[in-house]
Amino acid sequence: MKKALIFDLDGTLVDTLSDLAAVTNTVLFANGYPTHPLDAYRQFVGNGGRRLVEEASGETREDVVDRLFEEFLSEYDRHCLDLCKPYPGVVETLQTLKRCGMVLAIYTNKPQVQAEKIVDCFFKDTFFEVIGHTPNGPKKPDPAPLLHILSAYSISPEQAAFVGDSNVDVQTAHNAGLECVGAAYGFRGKEELLTAGADILIDEFVQLIKIFNIS
């Protein structure tokens, strides 16, 4: 039986795509760049905010990307809760998992401040750790934060799994020696997860209870 489940945030626990797209488009428009339809952002997200604005703008100049990213962070901090919401069944399933003694944590490439803001809004007192991206800190697919969580709670890789919706999440899990559960309902979809080598796929979050024999 698994003792710990570690989750990606965007596209796995919460649908944040509309806010990310709206904020990025606001920054792009203000700086004279073309904007993008919502679905385009499914491929832009997943590697952190700086990479998001870099890909959405098409910019290659480091100083310009840095400036756009700072504008993005300021705008997103004000609007990160406007439209986002947990996927169906997430809140109830997390409560069940925690009640059964499961160690629950988050490892996301979302900036730490906004990750904590979203978690506090929807999942207060649910997670043992919330690890987001900080300046000069590791980000997925670096497995170091996953290994830190396992060490902190004396859990072996075989006793844990990582749940995410992208190829980066699969790579992150496998880099740490963890089984990866692919959230096929998320931003990237089933085909990407299968190609990346996800060990298990779920179409609904509540399936975690049955997969890991939680009662």
Which residues are annotated as catalytic?
Answer: 8
Contacting residues for 147 by C-beta, under 8 A, at least 6 apart = 176
DSSP string, 109-132: EEEHHHHHHHHHHHSTTT-SEEEE
Residues 127 and 119: beta-carbon distance below 8 Å: yes
Q: Which residue has the tokens 């075989």?
A: 158
Residues 201 and 169: beta-carbon distance below 8 Å: no
Chain center to CA of 21: 15
Contacting residues for 134 by C-beta, under 8 A, at least 6 apart = 111, 112
Which residue, among 56, 58, 61, 68, has the nearest Cα to 27 in the 3D structure?
68
Report strand pairing: 85-86 vs 14-15: antiparallel
Distances 123 to 7, 104, 131, 212 between C-alpha atoms, Å: 13, 11, 14, 21
Residues 13 and 86: beta-carbon distance below 8 Å: yes
